[in-house]
Structure 1
Amino acid sequence: MNEIVSFKEVSFSKGDKVILQAINWSVHQNEHWGILGLNGSGKTSLLSIMSGFHFPSTGEVSVLGNLFGKTNLPELRKEIGFVSSSLERFAEYFNNETIERVVVSGKFASFGIYEQVKKEEWEKADSLLESLQLTYLKGKPYRLLSEGEKRKVIIARALMSEPKMLVLDEPCSGLDILSRERFLQSLDGIMKDECHIVYVSHHIEELVQGISHVLLLKDGKVIAAGPKEQVVSDELLSDTFGIPVHVHWKESRPWLEIRS
């Protein structure tokens, strides 16, 4: 499967409000994408469609080889991991659980465990905790973790079902600098496991080396889409953000300055 995501002339409206307009975008094998844009640019709606929670108003969408309108969307969603600060609204379901149980619940896409867990599923959870350098927290209740630790546990939970695509919606929101950098470092191993990442952020410095491509959105339209080094430019970002900016690079990672 060469094409992971395909949007062809996709538009999306709520009532009289047009949120996405004629979006043409594709994600191919071995590509990891960042999505940048101001609040209200259409990022959340794009993710909702891509993750199978909304149908486009017009146009054609295909995700992981599944053409919308001809596929079982609940089954498709099991192949897509989703990590967002919005999941904190379910924290009450996690707070008294150990981190191992939080991670294993991702196998069943449930908040809490209501099915028999097999030995190999516990072993899978242990392996994920090890890969994300969280083994020192085994046995601890979720509520006692730092924000950075919680975010990594939620990622492990999302990976429990071995998704083919991982959607990260502003995953560093609310993290301090140290927690953010540790989190970003943990993405390297995920990218090497043939899991395609779509990473949404307001901060271009979070587009680490492994993020190969970038999509820029403004007012529901695509400003640019392509290889990171080509798209993350002074001109295109100034247009996207509506303010003059300058980009400088360090180890394939962009950093932003506001021009006076």
Structure 2
Amino acid sequence: MIIDVKNVTWKRDNTTILREINWQVKKSEHWCIVGLNGSGKTSLLQILCGYTWPTQGEVQVLGNRYGEVDVREVRKSIGWVSTALMAHMHDNETAFRLVLSGREATIGLYNTPSEEDIEKASELLHTFGCDALKNRPFRALSQGERQKVLIARALMASPRLLILDEPCTGLDLLSREQLLAMIEQIAAQPDGPTLLYVTHHIEEILPCFTHTLLLKQGAIEAAGENRHILTPEQLTRFFGVPIDVRTSQGRSWVSIGEEATIR
């Protein structure tokens, strides 16, 4: 079991942010987490990574039961990429050094990398078509290029779980599709990590993602295989307005039905 969350509730002050979350992710499954703003997605991720402790419930990640292990050690097997991470990167650091820093999950490169690390960082940049970015400072990269570099950085430590938190935010159509193609490459690796992909947008759910969790107002609305979740009926209940679903090239594209009234 990659993730096993049982009866997790988290309260901040007098507000319940997450309510009775029960969720399991098995090996060979790749999941999407979909929710509107304020649904609790980031809070759930923080609990999975051991940065936030639930008010009640049990959390087990990669076979480690939180409360019985050093979560700092567990985090070494988890890669987490988010737009918030960009703000902590050093603007003058080159893309290559940023990728190398992923080996120790540090902000900045403080130890002399081994020849093996240098070779792996070069291979990752090459695999994702980023050879030309190698010596460019982070500040000179586009939004899409930064996301690619951060994903390569997350893969340096060979994580067993890779969390991609809204990686397409701010990208134009072409950049988004290039980044999604890169994610498909990662999912296709036989020894690659389990993926958790967080998004607001149903059309970003690639064929490589087998399951989807719908999170609404801090509770799980539905969770399971995409064929059961990405249906007009289920999405209409989730969004609260009539939803039409069109499938193309293994992806679902949604639109609001003509009879819907948006409030």
TM range (shorter): over 0.9
CA-to-aligned-CA distance 1:199-243 (integer Å, 9 cap, x gap): 000000000110110000111111111011211111221222222
- Measured in 1, the distance between the counterparts of 2:108 and 2:38 equals 33
Counterparts of residues 189-228 of structure 1 (less than 5 Å): 189-193=185-189, 194-228=192-226
Which residue does 1:160 correspond to in 2?
156
Which residue does 1:30 correspond to in 2?
28
- Measured in 2, the distance between the counterparts of 1:112 and 1:180 equals 27
- Measured in 2, the distance between the counterparts of 1:253 and 1:215 equals 16
Which residue does 1:146 correspond to in 2?
142
- Measured in 2, the distance between the counterparts of 1:240 and 1:50 equals 24
- Measured in 2, the distance between the counterparts of 1:104 and 1:145 equals 17
Provide the identity percentage: 45
Which residue does 1:235 correspond to in 2?
233
Which residue does 2:92 correspond to in 1?
96
Counterparts of residues 1-260 of structure 1 (less than 5 Å): 3-91=1-89, 93=90, 95-193=91-189, 194-260=192-258
- Measured in 2, the distance between the counterparts of 1:35 and 1:115 equals 35
CA-to-aligned-CA distance 1:17-67 (integer Å, 9 cap, x gap): 101111111000100000111111111111111112112111111000000
TM-score where L is the length of structure 2: 0.95
CA-to-aligned-CA distance 1:91-150 (integer Å, 9 cap, x gap): 4x1x21111101001111111111121111111100111111111222222222211111
Task: Describe the SS at the equivalent of 1:130.
Answer: helix
Q: Gaps (5+ residues) in structure 1?
A: none
- Measured in 2, the distance between the counterparts of 1:158 and 1:52 equals 17
User: Does structure 2 conserve the Cα–Cα contact (< 8 Å) formed by 1:223 and 1:236?
Assistant: no
Q: Gaps (5+ residues) in structure 2?
A: 259-263
Please tell me the residue identity of whatever aligns with 1:249: T
Which residue does 2:261 correspond to in 1?
none
Shift of 1:192: 2.5
Please tell me the residue identity of whatever aligns with 2:200: H
User: Does structure 2 conserve the Cα–Cα contact (< 8 Å) formed by 1:37 and 1:240?
Assistant: no
TM-score where L is the length of structure 1: 0.96
- Measured in 2, the distance between the counterparts of 1:139 and 1:197 equals 29
- Measured in 1, the distance between the counterparts of 2:4 and 2:150 equals 27
- Measured in 2, the distance between the counterparts of 1:241 and 1:43 equals 16
